[in-house]
Amino acid sequence: MASDVGGLDQPHKAHRSRQAGPSAKKKANSDRKKKKRSGNSADNKNQNPKAFAFKSAVKAKRLQSHAVEKEQRRLHVPTIDRTYGEPAPYVVVVHGPPKVGKSVLIKCLVKHYTKHNLPEVRGPITIVSGKQRRIQFVECPNDINGMIDCAKFADLALLLIDGSYGFEMETFEFLNILQVHGFPKIMGVLTHLDKFKDAKKLKKTKQRLKHRFWTEIYDGAKLFYLSGLIHGK
């Protein structure tokens, strides 16, 4: 068969690639992978980190002014005071066995803050220790219900320990109750140390009670030493 008609080449229909469908998606994915492997210089130029700078000075100025306005609006927004009235007082619970000096300690603390003598401790005592600070002293009773109630609202527990006798059962019971109800801050106070006449025996007793106190609470727990009253102080 003749390949030309009248001396002219016969035109062929051009191939039209698929524009949609699975074949087109497959070809587009393969082209994208080839392009990525080839590492086109134009693409590398667009992908480098410095290429994210502004290409338009007008756009850069507009975005910068918008950021400054946003920052100034944030700075000038009035802060909302979310505190409701006066803050609650800091509750200090004073616990110890009978005749250990709980009332005397509360009286001395009240006199330290207020410079006034307190004749008798009757119920919770609230004092003002600063412009935004109040402290409430509560003497913990020795019954189990009173211990549970005090353990629930205590912010700080002062454990009074008779130095001449040692730890008593009430102290360990109160410690176990405190562990169940949140375990607030705890400080120990050794009293009746004026009954010791021998300084060496007093030193050994202090060390023994301090290590026992650290075993029950944690190493380094605060333990204060109080001697007897001198001229009512």
Domain extents in the chain:
22-76, 90-225
Segment 180-184 mean pLDDT? 86
Q: What is the pTM of this model?
A: 0.58
User: Distance (Å, rounded) from C-alpha 177 to C-alpha 183?
Assistant: 8
Tokens of 26: 């497959």
Give the residue-averaged pLDDT of 88-92.
90
Per-residue confidence (pLDDT) for residue 181, from 0 to 100: 87
CB atoms inside a 10 Å sphere around CB 80: 6
Spatial distance between the Cα atoms of 61 and 53, rounded to a whole number of angstroms: 13
The mean pLDDT value for 180-201 works out to 85
Asked whether 104 and 229 are in contact (CB, 8 A), the reply is: yes
Length of the chain: 233
**Hey, what are 69's tokens?**
């306005």
- pLDDT tens track for 133-171: 899 999 988 889 988 999 998 999 999 988 888 888 888
Q: Which of 41-55, 125-139, 163-177, 184-198 has the lowest mean pLDDT?
A: 41-55
Does 201 or 3 have the greater pLDDT score?
Answer: 201
Nearest to 209 by CA among 160, 151, 176: 160
φ/ψ of 126, rounded to 5, equals -110, 130
In the chain, the percentage of residues whose pLDDT exceeds 70 is 85
* More confidently predicted of 187 and 6: 187
Structure tokens at 4: 């030309």
Beta strand extents in 149-191 (DSSP E only): 156-162, 185-191
Burial class (CB in 10 A: 0-12, 13-18, 19+), 138: buried
What DSSP designation does 211 have? H
Confidence of residue 52 (pLDDT cuts 50, 70, 90): low
pLDDT digits (tens, 9 = 90+) for 152-162: 989 999 999 88
The mean per-residue pLDDT over the stretch 25-40 comes to 80
Apex 154 CA angle, 149 and 157, nearest 5: 110
Rg of the chain over Cα atoms, rounded to whole angstroms, equals 41
Do residues 209 and 201 lie in contact, with contact meaning Cβ atoms separated by under 8 Å? no
Look at the domain 90-225 and name its fold. Answer: Rossmann fold (3.40.50)
Q: Which amino acid is at 176?
A: N
Q: Summarize the confidence of residues 89-95 as an average pLDDT.
A: 91
30 has pLDDT over 80:
yes
